[in-house]
Amino acid sequence: MGCRTLCFGLLFILFAYYIYIPIPENIEETWKIGFMNTVLKMTSLTAKLFENIGLMRYEELFVILTNLDMTEPISDENITVTDTTFSDIPVRLYLPKWKSQRQRPAVIFLHGGAFVLGSCKNSPYDLLNRQTANKLDAVVVGVDYRLSPQYQFPIALEDALSVVKFFLQDKILEQYRVDSTRICISGDSSGGTLAASVTQQLKNDPVFKNKIKAQALIYPFLQIIDSFTPSHRENEHGPLLTRDIAAKLGALYVTKDEALSQAIIKNKHIPQESRHLFKFVNWSIFLPDKFKKNHIYREPILERFNLSYPALLDSRLSPLLANDSQLQKLPLTYVLTCQHDILRDDGLIYVTRLQNVGVNVVHDHIENGFHGALSFITSPFYLLMGIRIKNKYITWLEENL
């Protein structure tokens, strides 16, 4: 009894402490976001506790919670929804029911979740993909690529590529009545990494290079070289995604060795011989002044850490490492960035670099936006910001695909 009271007391104090974490002033629904922030941070704390007592690994608690929110493939009056496989990878397929005169556009969507969490069957992604299919009269494919730490880099990317290449076969496009000149690859967060990377790979492949009309990247993660850009500094404690949680979960795509996430937090995870890569992500060159503010550029630290993970230097994990002649080949690109997001500068740098080489880029920057909002568009957890991001993305597709 005494113990239970003590535990509740401690939990209450923690909760009271966390709920007072300041939320940036311009964010709406402050109370709701404060609450979600608190729940997320307490989850992270509990996950660390469980890991320390040997109950489960850190990420497993997040996986359990995310998996509570799975949906069945439920068709509605306009869309037939089916779970199937493309090239042995599970996908959820959204097919408009009505016979249309013309062929349809198609969107392949890669969900976020730090390569560790999530599924296209989670209710927000199901709703997003369903509405995309509905609004655009499009065929939409949600992809359940395999997740880390069980499957590490580059498995998620290879799965995504297999699905896309399977779908792009002439006979499959014909089967679903898809217009092969109106296909978009989309993704949010780590799904944005995959979308950007798949698009780069296909644009370098003579068989597929003309088959992608557009890519849409929603607050994407685009580089692991510099983990201390101005957006990392300003949003270290969230809202929602903190540097700590991002490093702990994200590093699992490369290794289970915790030393890597600790090195990422200190921005000294890149091996000695890789200084030549800094020029691709040098924010003091590529960020517009309004985002640089008074931050002083500091190169990531090379000397002291000696990890050799080739993934860390691979443009398939950091699409920003592609050189200008590769970027030049990219199709019409939509990038959505949020002001209050550690990954904001990844998106901003990509926008600048693509514009510099003449790629057609549409950039939506949301001044009061924050990372992960798109995952809150279904009740009871919906956020106005999530719905706004969803609508911006779908509207862009409607007008451009």
Which window, 147-155, 231-239, 287-295, 321-329, contacts ligand NAG (CB under 6 A)? 321-329
Tell me, by CB under 6 A, how many residues bind ligand NAG.
16
Site string for ligand NAG, 268-307 (x = CB under 6 A): ----------xx--x-xx-----------x-x------x-
Site pattern 77..116 for ligand NAG (x: CB under 6 A): xx--------------------------------------
Looking at residue 285, its amino acid is: I
Q: Does 398 bind ligand NAG (CB under 6 A)?
A: no
Q: Calculate the CA dihedral of residues 10, 11, 14, 18 and round it to 10 degrees.
A: -170
With 0-12 CB in 10 A as exposed, 13-18 as middle and 19+ as buried, what is 130?
buried
Q: In this chain, which of 326, 328, 368, 400 binds ligand NAG, going by CB under 6 A? A: 326
137 is catalytic: no
Instruction: State the minimum distance, in angstroms, from the CB of residue 346 to ligand NAG.
Output: 16
- Told to judge if 87 belongs to the known catalytic residues of this protein, a careful annotator would answer no
Specify whether 371 is catalytic. Answer: yes
State yes or no: residue 75 binds ligand NAG (CB under 6 A): no
Q: Show contacts with ligand NAG in window 195-254 (CB under 6 A).
A: none
CA 286 to mean position of chain CA atoms: 21
323 binds ligand NAG (CB under 6 A): yes
Q: Which is nearer to ligand NAG, 325 or 379 (CB)?
A: 325
SS3 of 35, please?
helix
What phi, psi does 178 have (nearest 5°)? -90, 135
The Cα 262–Cα 231 span in angstroms is: 19
- Least distance between ligand NAG and beta carbon 169 (Å): 26
**From 189, 197, 315, 318, the catalytic residue:** 189
Is residue 76 near ligand NAG by the rule CB under 6 A? yes
- Residues 195 and 217 sit within 8 Å (Cβ to Cβ): yes
In angstroms, rounded to a whole number, what is the distance separating the alpha carbons of residues 93 and 368?
Answer: 33
Who contacts 226 (Cβ-Cβ below 8 Å, separation ≥6)? Answer: 267, 278, 281, 283, 300
- Assigned token pair, 227: 């983990």
Q: Decide whether 174 or 324 has the Cβ nearer to ligand NAG.
A: 324
Block residue for tokens 């993305």: 393
Side by side, the strands of the sheet bearing 89-96 are: 79-86, 89-96, 139-143, 104-110, 178-188, 214-218, 332-340, 361-370
23 binds ligand NAG (CB under 6 A): no
Q: Which residues bind ligand NAG (CB under 6 A)?
A: 76-78, 134, 278-279, 282, 284-285, 297, 299, 306, 308, 323, 325-326
Q: Which residues are catalytic?
A: 189, 341, 371
